[in-house]
Chain A
Amino acid sequence: MTDITPNQPPLAKRSLKWSTVMDHTVLILGSLFLLVPLLMVLQTTSTPDLETIKNGPGLAIGDQLDDNFMAAMFKASGFSGENTGMRMLMNSMILGIGFAIGKIVLGMMAAYALVYFRLRFATFAFWLIFTTLLLPLEVRILPSYEIAQKLGLLNTYTGLIVPLIASATATFFFRQYFRSIPEELVEAARIDGAGPVKFFIDILVPLSQTMIAAMFIIMFVYGWNQYLWPTMVTTDEDMYTLVRGIKQLTQDLEGTSIPEYGRANMLALIAILPPVLIVIFFQSWFVKGLTESDK
């Protein structure tokens, strides 16, 4: 993975240099394309709103960061006064972490049952579970909403998280991983007298640590970034997540005479940062998990 081979031809030193310059230029332009918009968001959170309204976003960092941060975290924008940045951040955390843990726990349990047990209806269960990979939540969004309503799950964390868990990505992933573990391991464990529960907790879970970490990162980011489902299922402002609150921010910017770009963009930034930081810091796990999940 980290094997980056120097594959330039040894001949023609001059043209080699040129092509290296070209490569870096392309990469730098690509990085700018991806990062400049984020920098501009950051910049608007550091300058007074009047300046942003006059000149638009630039690249010079100003001195309003802390003021805007306080406004974003503790000022509410809705009618109820409940949806402060703090509250939304907490809800986003609950959604991200709850979703990731739920997905991993259910997925590991189901995958363990499918791989390590002789089950009469295993094939049926397998298909029942893996068909869910085919249809994203978006295509069954309205009936899902009606069911959540019937079960009294609107504006609850359960209603926010559980319906999102209803797909088998993690199960599929862990199934693939468990199947790649040598069979001798189970046999050895059985000879040593380990039962299925002991084998799972003492051998399989520790063995899967890296995979669990990778899954956690991917699922946390996925859960944190959910939009459509939270938009439908949470209508109380104290249940808003940061990402769900984005639309309200755009409406705020439309409605007022001096739009609070500093505050709004700070909230957008707070919505971006936790998943970005996780992805950046745990890059190698994340990349491994992502690129191996399709195999």
Chain B
Amino acid sequence: MKRAGFTTRWLPILLLLPQLAVIIVFFYWPAAQAVQSSFYLEDPFGFGSTFVGLDNYTYLAQSAEYAKIARFTLVFTILVTFFSLGLALLLAVKADKVIRGAKSYRTLLMWVYAVAPPVAGFIGLLMFNQSWGPLTELAKSFGWDFALGVNSTDTAAAMVLVSVWKQVPVNFIFFLSGLQSIPKSVREAALIDCSSAMRRFWDVTFPLLAPTGFFLLIINITYALFDTFGIVDVLVKGEPGNNPLTLVYKVYVDGFRGNDMGGSSAQSVVLMVLVLALTVVQFRLVERRIHYT
């Protein structure tokens, strides 16, 4: 930061103050409290709490239910990330290729970006309605007796599909702008060098898109872990029952409904560590990204 900056003393402090105040009160304070209360067992009726050390964590580590939810979240995240990235990449490559209507396609494919996750879940409920949902009918025509909210595999499938549907547009926008920033000269050189479109894609376009892809990978993992909360909540109709749940949903259910502050906080801390690890990976990749461009 070798700026020719101003030297006024009080002004920058004044400028920073609102931002710092907000993040201290609503970021650092709650984050610290989550860490702290993960070491306590709180009375569900609010009569004080007792220090229990790592008990909440050991309980989590031994809980079969938590392990099951963690496993589901992992599978869910992989599926959502894979399909939404794959589909978006396919569409972006095609949209980049067509000359006529490229802009109209971009407009059409962008709509769903602005749909809120719970609204996406709401639309999912409509599509998978037990008696007449178009997708239920479609599944039936393939002999798949789809039962959302009853059969947990079916519920999981619906969650994945709705989450992918919601995430494709963001990935598409990023991939398309990544593709369009590939210099013309490189494309032309590739055209001369290899005649197969497939080879051109895998040997030239794909490596050039890799930085965008890495970035999106992290974005998508974060999306699947956290932002799908609304989708899950609406699709299971707020009834965890024996429906598949994600880790974030479990934090909410245990803490807000079950009043198990300690357990819920321990889960929050586990998630925090997970996100921090992801961020470290992201920074590593961003560093590497500089070599490409």
The chain A residue sitting closest to B218, CB to CB, is A294
Q: How far is the CA of A80 from the CA of B251 in the complex (A)?
A: 30
Given contacts A24-B98, A287-B177, contact A129 B19 (CB under 8 A): yes
Are A139 and B34 touching (Cβ within 8 A)? yes
Query: Closest CB of chain A to B161's CB: distance in Å?
Result: 10
- Closest partner residue, chain A, to B8 (CB atom): A196
Q: Does B81 contact A (CB under 8 A)?
A: no
A38 vs B14: C-alpha distance in the bound complex, in angstroms? 47
A112 to B11, CA, bound (A): 10
Q: Contact between A247 and B116 (Cβ–Cβ < 8 Å)?
A: no
Does A227 touch B at the CB level, under 8 Å?
yes
Q: Which residues of A are found within 8 Å of B101, using beta-carbon distances?
A: 24, 27
A239 within 8 A of B: no
Q: How far is the CB of A184 from chain B (nearest CB, A)?
A: 9
- A142 CB contact (under 8 Å) in B29, B233, B234, B251: B251
Give Cα distance in the complex from A147 to B234, angstroms: 26
Interface residues on B, range: 35 or more
Contact A31 B108 (CB under 8 A): yes
A192: which B residues are within 8 A, CB to CB? none
Q: How far is the CA of A30 from the CA of B93 in the complex (A)?
A: 12
CB of A257 within 8 Å of the partner chain: no
Contact between B271 and A117, CB atoms less than 8 A apart: no
* B55 beta carbon closer than 8 Å to chain A: no
Please state if A116 and B251 are interface contacts (CB–CB under 8 Å): no
Of the residues B23, B102, B117, contact of A227 by C-beta under 8 Å: B117
- In chain B between 1 and 56, which residues have their CB closer than 8 angstroms to a CB of chain A? 1, 3-8, 11-13, 15-16, 18-20, 22-23, 25-27, 29-31, 33-34, 37
Q: How far apart sit A125 and B12, CA to CA, in the bound complex (Å)?
A: 11
CB distance A225 to B116 under 8 Å?
yes
A243 to B120, CA, bound (A): 10
Please give the distance in Å from A245's CB to the nearest CB on chain B: 9
Q: How many A-B residue pairs have CB under 8 A?
A: 311
B106 contact set on A, CB distance < 8 A:
283
25 A-B pairs (CB sep. < 8 Å)? A3-B184, A4-B180, A7-B97, A9-B191, A26-B91, A30-B87, A34-B111, A34-B165, A38-B112, A57-B126, A118-B3, A119-B13, A125-B16, A128-B23, A129-B19, A135-B31, A138-B271, A147-B26, A187-B4, A195-B6, A195-B8, A232-B256, A250-B122, A250-B234, A290-B173
B30 to A125, Cβ gap below 8 A? Answer: no
Residue of chain B at shortest CB distance from A261: B126
Contact with A along B246-267 (1 / 0, CB 8 A): 0010011001100001001100
Given contacts A113-B11, A165-B22, 12 further A-B contacts (CB under 8 A): A23-B97, A37-B123, A54-B132, A56-B134, A116-B6, A118-B3, A122-B1, A128-B23, A134-B275, A166-B22, A249-B122, A275-B116
Interface string of B181-196 (1 = CB under 8 A from A): 1001001100100010
Interface residues of B in 230-286 (CB under 8 A from A): 230, 233-234, 237-238, 248, 251-252, 255-256, 261, 264-265, 268, 271-272, 275-276, 279
A71 within 8 A of B: no
Within 8 A of A (CB), among B66-104: 87, 90-91, 94-99, 101-103
Pick from A60-68, A81-89, A103-111, A207-215 the stretch touching chain B: A103-111
Question: In the complex the two chains form, what is the Cα distance from A54 to B132 in whole Å?
Answer: 8
> Does A271 lie within 8 Å of B108, measured CB to CB?
no
Once bound together, how far apart are the Cα atoms of A152 and B42, in whole Å? Answer: 22
Is chain A's binding surface mostly helix, strand, loop or mixed? helix
CA–CA, A186 and B1, complex, Å: 14
| Set of chain A residues within 8 Å of B272, measured between Cβ atoms | 135, 139-140
Q: Is A203 an interface residue (CB 8 A)?
A: no
Nearest A residue (CB) for B25? A147
Known A56-B134, A143-B29, A196-B6; contact A138-B11, beta-carbon cutoff 8 A: no
Give the size category of A's interface with B. Answer: 35 or more
* Inter-chain contact B99/A4, CB cutoff 8 Å: yes
Taking the nearest CB of chain A, how far is it from the CB of B279, in angstroms? 5
Residues of A within 8 A of B177 (CB): 1, 287, 291
B206 contacts the other chain (CB 8 A): no
A40 CB within 8 Å of chain B: yes
Specify which of B6, B19, B255, B264 is in contact with A110 (CB 8 Å cutoff).
Answer: B19
CA distance A294 to B188 in the complex (A): 28
Q: Given the complex, which residues of A lie within 8 Å of B224, measured CB to CB?
A: none
Most buried by B among A4, A54, A151: A4
Interface residue B226 (Cβ < 8 Å from any Cβ of A): yes
A162 within 8 A of B: yes
A256 contacts the other chain (CB 8 A): no
Question: Could you tell me which residues of chain B, from 173 to 226, have a CB within 8 Å of some CB in chain A?
Answer: 173-174, 177-178, 180-181, 184, 187-188, 191, 195, 197, 215, 222, 226
Measured CB to CB, the nearest residue on chain B to A108 is: B15
Contacting B91 at CB < 8 Å: which of A27, A114, A128, A287?
A27
Do B116 and A31 touch across chains, with their CB atoms under 8 A apart?
no
B contact residues around A38 at 8 Å (CB): 111-112, 115, 123
For residue B96, give the distance in angstroms from its CB to the closest CB of chain A.
Answer: 7
* A19 interfacial contact with B, CB 8 Å: yes
User: A156: CB under 8 A from chain B?
Assistant: no
Asked whether, in the complex, the Cβ of B169 is within 8 Å of the Cβ of A34, the reply is yes
Q: Is the CB of A167 within 8 A of B91?
A: no
Contact A142-B268, Cβ < 8 Å, known A23-B98, A276-B114: yes
> Which residues of B128-184 have CB atoms within 8 Å of chain A's CB atoms?
129, 131-134, 137, 165, 168-170, 173-174, 177-178, 180-181, 184
